[in-house]
Amino acid sequence: MSTATTLIPAVPLVPEEIHPDVALVARAKEGDTAAFEQLVRQYDRQVFRVAQHITQNREDAEDITQDAFLKAYEKLDQFQGNSKFSTWLVRIAVNESLMRLRKRKTSKTVSMDENVQTDEGSIPRDFADWSPNPEQQFGTAELGEILRKTIQGLPPGFRTVFTLRDIENLSTEETAEALGLSVPAVKSRLLRARLQLRERLSRYFRQNKNEGSKP
């Protein structure tokens, strides 16, 4: 039997995993439009969904998706890779969406702070179970209509946080970074957004619907 000491390498043999977007972004920065096209394919649905959730307008969402990718392409040099490319892209899409909301409501200021002070609907009042679950109670089309109508009623500041955090699955920190908010502000808005949505959805999904407030 060999008495040689087993050598333990000082550095791990498996390198830290690099996100595939890093290589695509590097190629796109060097003028490879096919690489950027791949990024468009990967994230166009997500950018469109974010824009549609925030603006609640299909044409606006289509324009914003185009503008966000074009802006990202023009500013690729400014992307340092400190965050994920998708988070950086979503941040551009959120800014474009909020700008579009401001333009639409010329006489009113729309910002991440609008209506976020209200606690209306954030204090639970409906304590009925949802059984059977929403998917069992409604067909796809009807359920989609309920979900669209309900999220539309949330203030933009809450809707945006809920969209990024719960629908797009960004972390609290990524959401804070994308929106220029503090982590406690994101947490506070997320709680109120979730509770307000829950309260409103309960009108449709609660057991013994006739006993509660009607939608």
Partner 1 sequence: MTCTDFLSKLTDYFDGQIGAELMVEVKHHIAECHHCHVVLDTTKQTIEVYRDNEIYEFSPELQNRIHTAIMTRCRAVAK
* Contact residues for partner 1, defined by CB under 8 A: 31, 33, 36-37, 40-41, 44-45, 48-49, 52-53, 58, 61-62, 65-66, 69-70, 73-74, 124, 127-130, 133-135, 140, 143-144, 147-148, 151, 162, 166-167, 169, 172, 187, 190-191, 194-195, 197-198, 201-202, 205
User: H/E/C letters for each residue in the chain?
Assistant: CCCCCCCCCCCCCCCCCCCHHHHHHHHHHCCCHHHHHHHHHHHHHHHHHHHHHHHCCHHHHHHHHHHHHHHHHHCHHHCCCCCCHHHHHHHHHHHHHHHHHHHHCCCCCCCCCCCCCCCCCCCCCCCCCCCCCHHHHCCHHHHHHHHHHHHHCCCHHHHHHHHHHHHCCCCHHHHHHHHCCCHHHHHHHHHHHHHHHHHHHHHHHCCCHHHCCCC
The residue (of 11 and 78) whose beta carbon lies closer to partner 1 is: 78
The residue (of 144 and 180) whose beta carbon lies closer to partner 1 is: 144
The residue (of 84 and 128) whose beta carbon lies closer to partner 1 is: 128
- Asked if 73 contacts 36 with a C-beta cutoff of 8 angstroms, the reply is yes
Rounded least distance, CB 206 to partner 1, Å? 8
- Cα(99)–Cα(64) distance, integer angstroms: 10
Rounded least distance, CB 78 to partner 1, Å? 15
Rounded least distance, CB 120 to partner 1, Å? 15
The residue (of 83 and 143) whose beta carbon lies closer to partner 1 is: 143
Rounded least distance, CB 140 to partner 1, Å? 8
The residue (of 57 and 83) whose beta carbon lies closer to partner 1 is: 57
- Cα(156)–Cα(101) distance, integer angstroms: 9
Rounded least distance, CB 114 to partner 1, Å? 21
Rounded least distance, CB 181 to partner 1, Å? 14
The residue (of 14 and 191) whose beta carbon lies closer to partner 1 is: 191
